[in-house]
Structure 1
């Protein structure tokens, strides 16, 4: 994408056209206040910026529509924006037209608003290769961001104030949110993230949601499987209390489910079901209460036995540690030698000095006996451990069974209390209410069988494997390594260009610090950031080195960034007098040499990348060198300006 023309329309339909050559260095030289700097703001506005930054004066007083003509890889694009309404500085309206032969601009009456700035940027961005993408900052609480044409343009424009700044390296960097957008999108434009990363990140988000759903379903099913037997028993007692089923033996869950299914679908009796006698209901309630009390007592006894066994085990552990400590002390003395009774006939010796003695010392034998006793006790404790574990397992099983029975009894008591409180329901209504509860609970039984649980576990494992595979493909460490590699290549060109411009502190290496969005030179004294380097000439030089290095990388790697760079007044530091501004030739040899190096570097980079890069420079410089003269597209001196004089009259 390169600029062919900037086109202005006044209210009478007159057209001012400023043409440029693609793939070349285009210099617009001229005196001050001729409109050179306005070219950048017009391009920025035409490419979708909501507010127009053209200075108030002749341009805003006369121009009704701002337009640009662009050369794309396939065909051209004509973009026009109406001037904001009187009293306003922004507009969302735009006109966009694509074609193969758009060299001749349309007349004023043919200009129509057919889109808005958001759509304009999306369509142009797709034409230059900006694909669907999502950058994930990961830190700082920033939301994911999609790189668009708006972010790419931040790398293509340098106004007069920006190019000479020691603190802002990129276009609009000082505005709110722009710095974070640059940090998040430059890796995409450098190609440090895969082209299909946006699709994979979307797949990862979907896979994580699927995993959460599968895990939630599995948890619900496992919880239901743990409590369904208790609920079914309680439901059976409730059905029995309202007369839906008769008391009978229930050997397993399947039998219980069949009984409840029969109670749910059985036709109502021809004659009203006799009301449950209050005395019988009271007897049933008392029996259930006694059963619950007995179960509570049994559960308390089991838990007490379990606590006693745990205390005993803890005490044995302390005792065992003491025995092991004492045994270790005895064994570590090294004084336990074989005594006379062990079958050895050698003369007794002193355990301390090793010399022969008349009588054997009884101490070693006593120590040996103590050690043997301690080791025997340790073996007895070790043998007792398996039986303790078995006893704990048995007690845990008894406690679980008692809890289930107690929960069933308490649920039945609750059902009886509820039935007694609902005094205004007929027996038929009570049975219908219980049938509804049976239907609701039986609908959950299928989700608790082993086959369904296994299916849910398999689904959860499959979803987890999908998430793991996508996360492995979206490796943040790999992305950082890819970004570092590309920044190193850009830094090599920055170092070369800084050396050609003879900038201060360029004797080491020069690099782009993406975290701080500044230039850093690595010297023997340590790293030096741009704001610590003096003079506007150095600031401008490092700006040029950075942007030329980035665009060289974008062009050579065919990255989706517009192939133009607009620079406003890159030699402003070398025109100290009005005389030199008017002539375009600096008075001092040092200034003239710096200006010559600047434009020669711009010329050489464009020639190297031709026709892949277009550079447009608005400046006072007007050097006599042939290559410079060949690059001058417009010379706005002697009354020639962006706005024709007849428009003002």
Structure 2
């Protein structure tokens, strides 16, 4: 077997079941049946399993399956690749199971599947199996754009013709035209069709590297020649700079070029860097911490003094009020001490009712006098406290002043240190320029010999590579691929149904934009202009088969597999008014002869012995065609479908 074919499609349920669709390599394989049975899901399953960044598998299949996958085969080697279905609304899963070997067995159920690698690693492994090298394509006509990497995703569009593209009048390949990946397909096409290969790409990369090295070396030698030509000016300027930064004390008068170089050489050998010890930043930080601490103490003392003074003011206010109250109550002194509660306090005559106000007044007077004495006793204590606090505040203020004076001194030293550092940096830059000048002006004999031969060696190798990588030759390679595709597509198209006005006209493909058309005696008509679903179908089938002839002819790393979804689309288009049942057709029905031609061509192409495998998903079923019946792997009718009815879906 020359090319990789698809042996089986694998579907794993959530409850331990597995559904296999077995295919026959190097043969036409047909799956036919009613609509809504899951046929169109197969293209999406293949695309998703082969590393698609999106999952477009229809809902019923997506919900009922935990994993999907396939088995590829080439001679005795098999490759099983399964990819986990994305959970919930997640776009994709990155979990991939990959196994490669001879006579390997697929896991029986989802519980036996496990992630063996991520999706990107799996793609790299399959690329190795196919023979896709580490290739960064050199873009045709767009050298300013970044080259793109050829990958497994570069070849998928040549394998799948789903029901949306098989009669698309605007796009030949799946995911081309109006798709954001169209440019990627076009950029990688020269490698896919064999216009360039790994050797060519490696030489292009070497050529880019050598051209960059040549430019760098030419600039270096030009700089050296400039140094030699302007030696006196450069040496004088460097000596002046050295004097400005203190590396030289005196500049000799009327200095010669050789003497100037000797001075520069001495400076390069012994730069005489000086160090200037100054206070460290740690010392300054400690002083700042002391300043913050003492300032805090001072603030606290000021608050305490203010509180004490407020207490004195309150006591003075109370004393004045008490004195006033005492004077107001002093009227009690006019009453004799022997006055009783049963007599008038002034005339001492007996009274009918008792009088107790005199004693109350006397008690009030005694209370006021006692409070006044208490306030007068506390005042000296408060005055002493204020005096002590003010003494402490004076001491703290003195310490703060001392600390801030130290800070001022150290800040000045720090600025001087920074100035010294700036001077040191300037000296280093001057010394660096001196060293670079001496290296350019006085290279060693070995380096001089190497420099003299480097540019000629680079130029010689660049010329050799440019002769091997002639852009015209590369374009000619693309033109040759185009010519072969046109010839083969025209040959195949002659066997397929086509409007009579195009019957003798050659087919044409533009590999720069993947547009196809038919060349008439008057003009080239693009596919969309030829009209008719039958014409679109013929162009699609003819060019897909032509591509695979070219892949086999040039041994390109593309699997020998094509999926066509519903070749009968022009003849049995979807009709909402008609039951979506399998169309059982016989040779006696109209339009069947046209549809038969497509299957005849497919059987003939597979029979060429180029390891081509074709999978057709179809509504039509030719019950009277033995080849068709024999090629039919499954018929999904009478309740049979891709996903069995008893497969559960997660809640």
Q: Is this contact kept in 2: 1:50–1:117, CA < 8 A?
A: no
Which 10-residue stretch deviates more, 482-491 or 253-262? Answer: 253-262
Aligned to 2:629: 629
Unaligned runs of 5+ in 2: 273-415, 418-422
Aligned to 1:515: 512
* CA 1:144–1:601: 2 relative to 1, 3 Å: same
Aligned to 2:542: 545
* CA 1:445–1:588: 2 relative to 1, 3 Å: same
Are residues 1:23 and 2:26 paired? yes
1-structure distance, mates of 2:265, 2:185: 66
Q: SS in structure 2 opposite 1:162?
A: coil
Aligned to 1:384: none
Deviation string 1:146-205 (CA, Å, 9 cap, x unpaired) is: 211101011110100100100011011135432212222122111111331221122122
Aligned to 2:190: 187
Which 10-residue stretch deviates more, 200-209 or 162-171? Answer: 200-209
2-structure distance, mates of 1:217, 1:455: 13
> If you compute each CA radius of gyration, which structure gives the higher value, 1 or 2?
2
* Structure 1 position 478, deviation (Å): 0.6
Q: Is this contact kept in 1: 2:14–2:648, CA < 8 A?
A: no
1-structure distance, mates of 2:425, 2:179: 66
* Structure 1 outlier segments of 4+, above 6 Å: 237-243, 263-268, 430-436, 450-454
Aligned to 1:448: 441
Q: SS in structure 1 opposite 2:136?
A: coil
* Structure 1 position 565, deviation (Å): 0.4
Q: SS in structure 2 opposite 1:573?
A: coil
Aligned to 2:261: 257
Which 10-residue stretch deviates more, 10-19 or 59-68? Answer: 59-68
The CA RMSD over aligned residues, in Å, is 3.2
* Structure 1 position 475, deviation (Å): 1.8
Q: SS in structure 2 opposite 1:196?
A: helix
Unaligned runs of 5+ in 1: 269-422, 425-429
1-structure distance, mates of 2:271, 2:633: 98
Are residues 1:14 and 2:13 paired? no
Q: SS in structure 2 opposite 1:27?
A: strand
2-structure distance, mates of 1:238, 1:558: 68
* Structure 1 position 645, deviation (Å): 2.3
* CA 1:564–1:457: 2 relative to 1, 3 Å: same
* CA 1:82–1:258: 2 relative to 1, 3 Å: closer
Which 10-residue stretch deviates more, 450-459 or 213-222? Answer: 450-459
* Structure 1 position 76, deviation (Å): 0.8
Select the residue among 160, 164, 188 that pairs with 1:161.
164
Are residues 1:536 and 2:529 paired? no
Provide the TM-score with structure 2 as the length reference: 0.69
Select the residue among 206, 214, 230 that pairs with 1:227.
230
1-structure distance, mates of 2:96, 2:424: 72
Q: Is this contact kept in 2: 1:77–1:97, CA < 8 A?
A: yes
* Structure 1 position 4, deviation (Å): 1.0
Are residues 1:108 and 2:101 paired? no
Select the residue among 208, 218, 232 that pairs with 2:221.
218
Q: Is this contact kept in 1: 2:65–2:85, CA < 8 A?
A: yes
Aligned to 1:152: 155
Aligned to 1:555: 552
1-structure distance, mates of 2:161, 2:429: 75
Aligned to 2:90: 88
2-structure distance, mates of 1:459, 1:113: 52
Q: Is this contact kept in 1: 2:76–2:103, CA < 8 A?
A: no
2-structure distance, mates of 1:7, 1:104: 9
Aligned to 2:561: 564
* CA 1:435–1:254: 2 relative to 1, 3 Å: farther
Aligned to 2:121: 119
Q: Is this contact kept in 2: 1:35–1:641, CA < 8 A?
A: yes
- Kindly report which structure 2 residues correspond to 1:17-416, keeping only aligned pairs within 5 A, or say none: 17-57=20-60, 59-73=61-75, 75-140=77-142, 142-174=145-177, 176-233=179-236, 247=252, 253-258=257-262, 261=265
Select the residue among 507, 521, 534 that pairs with 1:524.
521
* Structure 1 position 257, deviation (Å): 2.8
Q: SS in structure 2 opposite 1:61?
A: helix
Q: SS in structure 1 opposite 2:53?
A: coil
2-structure distance, mates of 1:95, 1:433: 62
Aligned to 1:482: 477
Provide the TM-score with structure 1 as the length reference: 0.69
Aligned residue-pair number: 488
1-structure distance, mates of 2:572, 2:433: 88
